[in-house]
């Protein structure tokens, strides 16, 4: 048999060379040498929410993007950072920032009572606008001669 020169670096081995490099069962690590499996294995690439995080009872949490002024505004509204077991603020990369780097979002929370008060205040503003629409007065200007039918204007929620 003619001895062929070894192939250069980066070149795949020929078939007969590859067969000689296949590990035999005795070369394989035993189950004793294998790393311990986690108690509950999560398959890579499985369906999961990227921003899922356990919520504390009595609090409402929200992810705030770290854009100028947004985190400070959330703090003014009463939100506080949620911290992980190491005492660091919970943060995830959620996109690309204006400057081209990563855009981070911070998980923050507020007491549920405050959150419900804020939502009720927002609902009052929406309700007032809807009532003004029904009267034909939303953003009315003096002399704009709006037409309101005799049966009024109705809004149907679908």
- Model confidence at 156, pLDDT cuts 50, 70, 90, reads confident
Using an 8 Å Cβ cutoff, are 90 and 83 in contact?
Answer: yes
pLDDT score recorded for residue 30:
58
Tell me the pTM: 0.60
Mean pLDDT of 23-37: 60
- Give the lowest-confidence range in 48-52, 69-73, 140-144: 140-144
Residue 14 has pLDDT above 70, yes or no: no
3-state secondary structure 31-95: CCCCCCCCCCCCCCCCCCCCCCCCCCCCEEEEEEECCCCHHHHHHHCCCEECECCCCCECEEEEE
Query: For 57-105, what is each residue's pLDDT tens digit?
Result: 999 999 999 999 999 999 999 999 999 999 999 999 999 999 899 999 9
pLDDT at 25 over 60: no
3-state secondary structure of 106: strand
Rounded mean pLDDT, 113-129: 96
Residue 46 token pair: 């499985």
């Amino acid at each position: 048999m003619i001895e062929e020169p070894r192939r250069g670096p980066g070149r795949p081995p020929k078939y007969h060379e590859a067969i000689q490099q296949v590990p035999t069962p005795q070369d394989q690590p035993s189950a004793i040498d294998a790393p311990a499996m986690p108690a509950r294995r999560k398959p890579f690439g499985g369906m999961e929410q990227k921003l899922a995080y356990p919520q504390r009872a009595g609090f409402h949490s929200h992810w705030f993007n770290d854009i100028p002024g947004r985190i400070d505004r959330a703090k003014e509204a009463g939100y506080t950072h949620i911290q992980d077991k190491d005492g660091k603020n919970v943060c995830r990369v959620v996109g690309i920032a204006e400057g081209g780097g990563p855009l981070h979002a911070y998980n923050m929370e507020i007491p549920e009572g405050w959150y419900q008060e804020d939502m009720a205040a927002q609902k009052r503003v929406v309700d007032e606008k809807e009532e003004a629409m029904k009267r034909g007065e939303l953003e009315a200007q003096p002399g704009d001669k709006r037409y309101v039918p005799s049966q009024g204007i109705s809004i149907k929620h679908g």
